[in-house]
Structure 1
């Protein structure tokens, strides 16, 4: 395991995790006991996760950058007995009274043995609980057992050789299940890890030339590819979390990449369910089920549909998880009896529309509900709508994902009797108290009423597009030469017609990937020495330019750790 300039052997990693596991057992951790983990990305985070598993418990990953209320809810909902964290994080958290806190960077574990503890854990016990967005306004915890992860490890062993997994970039937030493949598949099969805070950090890693395999989302690899930042050592790229465009596949192979794998799957089926090796000049598809997994395309009566007909994808097999922690009714709704099984097996309803091609592979056709994925993050639009409807000024609301220049972007349509001009910023601020940054709409449109269909339902097709939202804001033209130059670059990166002095980079559709692209362009074309941090600190054009000295670069480049936190918006990245 490598993180920055720190390297750990398997033996060192094992010993440190064992020592912490012994202390966890003393605190009552064992089978079915949940342990919250809220730590920055480093080798210490991996040690903490392994220690929970070695103690027989189940880890609950918590992003330190999530709103304190959301973290507190997840700790309470999971009934975590212990919280593992660090001094820099614990001050920002609200911890339930019944949860014991261990601050790992202030802990002396030298008195505990390096040997592996003996536990009573079985393959059916919980391994971890990952929270995903919930349509009711609260996140829900998916409960994954050890046997589910073992199936993923076994399939991976049949596809990736030990050489393939020497130098796996571990860059995905542990709150997202792509991280399970990066960390545990790699270690279980004898590979080596290079831990990064996010995928976009790759070109700056001391060990970047040792990276052989990248496991991330398409939008992240597209940014690295566009900027020429994929190291020559990379041979395999796993892409998941978003539809993978053929144009990106075609751009990757000429760079010396040997295999581009397209992996599809929900957390409820343990990370990956189907896979395919995408080829240059091929067509988009999500392939066939992993071994130990079966796929079904069924109609409303759970009857199979003919080849070529779109229908909801159902999954079965060894990856199907226990269900949603503490939510029996929701579990029964999404995990249904398998009519094709005589052993009591269940099917998971994905909510994804697919069809079988003539050659038997699956094509992804979109969602059947209002769940979306943006840069790998799974978002229930209803959770955002529920939070907005709690605000006294909001009468009606609809939140949609619309295609923009940087990919899909969230758009909020708000009906209010209050002054719309003064409401946008307070609503965003209140949302940020409860929701992570990737769930905050980039665009806000205020309407007199929401359009309805003849039968009284929301007419989503009649809602105005993103451009209408931009036209609601007054435009003030850039004045100085530097303002005009930066505005031109922003407009090109964001693919908008123009950028004014009061325009906000992220409200025009920007996100962390486009921020990196914009900074690279300004460095190349204007000779400015910048970091993306400056753009996050000063996202309004006028303020941003005011911080720039065209000779000496940005005045304020402090708090670079904040950039890592903001770039963790990539998830899965």
Structure 2
């Protein structure tokens, strides 16, 4: 620094934002701060804490501490207070240098801003060299969970910097970007290496280091030609669309550099260096300039040792191993740390006496290849024993990374099973790949897909955080989807309680991370949702959804059963509302459920026609006409109504696809009269002999979204049987829709309706009648129902991130997206009381599962966004609102409106004016018939 301040006094060594210092200014300011520290009588035996955000002041403080003869301890302001306090007490820190940050307890904080005048009064002359052997302390994670402080010597740091200068050929013309927290040892290269050669370091702000696009912009803005980062940061840059720079030298270290990332980086830079070294041997101990020949193994080789450093591959008896034989890597030389502060036992275990001098035992498993390169095979503590088999987790990870959709893979042993974590990956496809290459005992039991791996503050993958995620994010290797409404509702309850996106009906509750407290919560939700008192021990004895569903099915006899009854001429509440709307606007297309189904291949039209006739005969509601007698609706079931399937041949027309689209559009708005049966319309468009489009339209008074899927499944089953000459067999329907309508009218009286209505009165008390959104035209006096659609796609990365947020918050994806939507509505309306409607299938009774009919209900979800809640807090609120609404979903929306009598207007709908519907997007369904 002294030499640079003389031969390059006006050159800028450091830039942060719009600020910079010359070498002379940096030298003088660090001299003044060093003399200030000496003047106040700091204790050289006690480390000085550097508690500063990334800035030029941070660099001044580091240099001043060393010049004053002190040892610095970097303290990252982003660290939890508990960890900072441990470090301060364990290292016996007496003074901390800080600037405009909250004071730390137990130590004296020196605010550089407040003390600036006092510091400036000290001489800026150079100080004599200090006689202090320890340059800095750095805390690393310990296997017991207690961090340990590594003591790095001045001579070790000097040897490292001079070696890097020569190895990387760093000159005064280089400009290096510093992106690493000072609490990670590699920051010393970023901050000090430029200073010893007269180059410049550009210090990136904390918020920039975690944003790939901002980082790429900073690289270009400052013409940076040298940057060091962990693989995670390089992936962040590449994911942002960064294309690289021709004159760039890339330094990559901190974790193994896999072949895929190395290949991408070689296309982005002039040079790519793979750096290896543990903290205990002073930052990097080996370096390799990556070339094409280094990409033959799963990970790039470690490289050659830096100056005054030796690498040894030894067996457990500390004897050298043969070429190609795996062993443990030991390091000797000038870079070895003094040891661990106040941990003589641990120092003796890791730093060993040897004929070659002291050895540091790295715990890394490596082997020397025939070409002399050293291949990294993984951590020895990543080698596990499972069911008597010794397994190298790195081998499984290498196979996983072969899949083109997998960017990163980590495998951990958790509770006697292997769990694979993938970014991003497709678990089903990855499982097929790994089954072809590995023995069964090496196949993970679970695959967890993540948007990104959690990172430590040092930018390394946080394996402990992955273990903590596993109980709430595991995706089972085999998962059977719910097969009926009871199982579906139980799966929803379990998924929320366990923090999972989905749960299979045969999955064990406790194997998924359940415990007695969660079991109590689940039993309470079952009681509210199903009206059944399930003993807690039942969940322990039968811990799968399939078993609990069977128990519930047998226990629900306490509720009134739905049984066939004499036709009483009543409509369900949902039908009643549809009838009223149909009287007001009989031709409105909003009451239709249209579908267009592409049928490719040979088609027997007559058999298809017979299938629809059979389905209409099977479901009474489809052949029920709604007559109006003396102003009241009267449902009348019609025996054998005419079911027509007209065939419209488009083959001779020009552009049949265009003609087909016109038919589809017209079909979706053409009304269906409800006073004539059947309440569905069919048309078959022929585009060629092997290409047809079936237009299917149902009236909402007879069906809902669940119904149309059920109808299609039944038609496929009937067609498949008839085309093979087999008798058509569908499960017998226990009731008809008219039986449900009569049951609903009787059940929703007295106590059940009072209990549900009491909840909704409380929930919607004093609710705002209208969501006032800023609009660019007057609201019409009467709703027109005219609107438009805006289609857009959420990219896969955002989708995965949303799913991860949902899992971490213990919410479903519906709840997470609803929260985001309500934030949007709140921002636009400048209101914190947001009401949104959402449809719900409302098929909680077993008798209704196979019935076509209008069962769907509408729930009002009222969320309080006041108090500027965090996203996680808002998700908790949305989750509670949704769960409460599900519990009270039986009250028909029509009854709710009638009971509450909200302020009415023809210009907007009552209670809510915005609906939110979520259906997981799947690939187009293809069925073979």
User: What is the match of residue 179 of structure 2?
Assistant: 171
CA distance in 1 between counterparts of 2:810 and 2:792 reads 18
Deviation at 1:210, TM superposition (A): 1.7
Alignment of 1:254-273 (within 5 A): 254-255=267-268, 257-273=269-285
Deviation at 1:164, TM superposition (A): 7.6
Q: Does 1:110 align with 2:126?
A: no
- CA displacement, residues 178-225 of structure 1 (integer Å, 9 cap, x when unaligned): 101111122112221000025344234397342111100112112212
CA distance in 2 between counterparts of 1:64 and 1:8 reads 24
Indicate conservation of the 8 Å contact 1:310/1:355, yes or no.
yes
CA distance in 1 between counterparts of 2:811 and 2:319 reads 45
Deviation at 1:359, TM superposition (A): 1.4
Q: Does 1:334 align with 2:360?
A: no
CA gap 1:322/1:185 in 2 versus in 1, 3 angstroms: same
User: What is the match of residue 324 of structure 1?
Assistant: 340
User: What is the match of residue 10 of structure 1?
Assistant: 23
Q: Helix, strand or coil for the counterpart of 2:292?
A: coil
Indicate conservation of the 8 Å contact 1:249/1:280, yes or no.
no
Q: Does 1:297 align with 2:313?
A: yes
Alignment of 1:462-477 (within 5 A): 472-473=498-499, 475=501
Q: Any gaps of 5 or more consecutive residues in structure 1? A: 373-395, 408-431, 448-462, 509-538, 557-561, 563-573
User: What is the match of residue 676 of structure 2?
Assistant: none
Q: Helix, strand or coil for the counterpart of 1:41?
A: coil
CA distance in 2 between counterparts of 1:484 and 1:543 reads 19
Q: Helix, strand or coil for the counterpart of 2:146?
A: coil
1:543 to 813, 816, 819: 819
Indicate conservation of the 8 Å contact 2:500/2:807, yes or no.
no
User: What is the match of residue 155 of structure 1?
Assistant: 163
Q: Helix, strand or coil for the counterpart of 2:819?
A: helix
Indicate conservation of the 8 Å contact 2:176/2:194, yes or no.
yes
User: What is the match of residue 100 of structure 1?
Assistant: 108
User: What is the match of residue 311 of structure 1?
Assistant: 327
CA gap 1:368/1:464 in 2 versus in 1, 3 angstroms: farther
CA distance in 2 between counterparts of 1:309 and 1:302 reads 14
- CA displacement, residues 26-85 of structure 1 (integer Å, 9 cap, x when unaligned): 233365431011111111111111111111111001111211111011011111121111
Larger Rg: 2
2:798 to 473, 487, 490: 490
User: What is the match of residue 185 of structure 1?
Assistant: 193
Q: Helix, strand or coil for the counterpart of 1:228?
A: coil
User: What is the match of residue 420 of structure 1?
Assistant: none
Matched residue count? 442
Q: Helix, strand or coil for the counterpart of 2:267?
A: helix
CA gap 1:541/1:43 in 2 versus in 1, 3 angstroms: farther
Deviation at 1:144, TM superposition (A): 0.2
Q: Does 1:403 align with 2:417?
A: no
CA gap 1:228/1:137 in 2 versus in 1, 3 angstroms: same
User: What is the match of residue 249 of structure 1?
Assistant: 262
2:50 to 37, 46, 52: 37
CA distance in 1 between counterparts of 2:161 and 2:204 reads 22
How much is the aligned-residue C-alpha RMSD, in angstroms?
Answer: 3.9
Deviation at 1:483, TM superposition (A): 12
Deviation at 1:331, TM superposition (A): 0.1
CA distance in 2 between counterparts of 1:405 and 1:486 reads 18
Q: Helix, strand or coil for the counterpart of 2:288?
A: strand
Indicate conservation of the 8 Å contact 1:547/1:555, yes or no.
no
Alignment of 1:383-462 (within 5 A): 402-405=420-423, 440-441=465-466, 443-445=468-470
Provide TM-score, normalisation by structure 1: 0.69
CA gap 1:261/1:489 in 2 versus in 1, 3 angstroms: closer
Higher percent of residues as strand: 1
User: What is the match of residue 287 of structure 2?
Assistant: 275
User: What is the match of residue 362 of structure 1?
Assistant: 374
CA gap 1:89/1:399 in 2 versus in 1, 3 angstroms: farther
Q: Helix, strand or coil for the counterpart of 2:101?
A: helix
Higher relative contact order, chain-length normalized (CA < 8 Å, sep 6+): 1
User: What is the match of residue 141 of structure 2?
Assistant: 133
Deviation at 1:467, TM superposition (A): 6.7
Indicate conservation of the 8 Å contact 1:505/1:541, yes or no.
no
CA distance in 2 between counterparts of 1:441 and 1:101 reads 36
Indicate conservation of the 8 Å contact 2:280/2:337, yes or no.
yes
Deviation at 1:484, TM superposition (A): 9.0
User: What is the match of residue 130 of structure 2?
Assistant: 120
Alignment of 1:207-222 (within 5 A): 208-222=221-235
Provide TM-score, normalisation by structure 2: 0.44
Deviation at 1:352, TM superposition (A): 0.3
Q: Helix, strand or coil for the counterpart of 1:405?
A: strand
CA distance in 2 between counterparts of 1:466 and 1:55 reads 58
CA gap 1:311/1:153 in 2 versus in 1, 3 angstroms: same
Deviation at 1:399, TM superposition (A): 12
CA gap 1:405/1:285 in 2 versus in 1, 3 angstroms: same
Deviation at 1:134, TM superposition (A): 1.1
CA distance in 1 between counterparts of 2:222 and 2:70 reads 36
CA distance in 2 between counterparts of 1:327 and 1:45 reads 29
Indicate conservation of the 8 Å contact 1:143/1:321, yes or no.
yes
Q: Any gaps of 5 or more consecutive residues in structure 2? A: 1-13, 385-413, 426-456, 480-493, 503-788, 833-869, 871-929
Deviation at 1:490, TM superposition (A): 3.1
CA gap 1:301/1:7 in 2 versus in 1, 3 angstroms: same
Deviation at 1:153, TM superposition (A): 1.2
Indicate conservation of the 8 Å contact 2:172/2:198, yes or no.
no
Indicate conservation of the 8 Å contact 1:250/1:281, yes or no.
no
Q: Helix, strand or coil for the counterpart of 1:282?
A: helix
Indicate conservation of the 8 Å contact 1:162/1:189, yes or no.
yes
CA gap 1:131/1:406 in 2 versus in 1, 3 angstroms: farther
CA distance in 1 between counterparts of 2:41 and 2:831 reads 50
- CA displacement, residues 150-191 of structure 1 (integer Å, 9 cap, x when unaligned): 110121121233448621001100000110111112211222
Q: Helix, strand or coil for the counterpart of 1:210?
A: coil
CA distance in 2 between counterparts of 1:398 and 1:77 reads 35
CA distance in 2 between counterparts of 1:14 and 1:468 reads 64
Indicate conservation of the 8 Å contact 2:172/2:197, yes or no.
no
- CA displacement, residues 397-446 of structure 1 (integer Å, 9 cap, x when unaligned): 89998432169xxxxxxxxxxxxxxxxxxxxxxxx9xxx99854475455
Indicate conservation of the 8 Å contact 1:178/1:271, yes or no.
yes
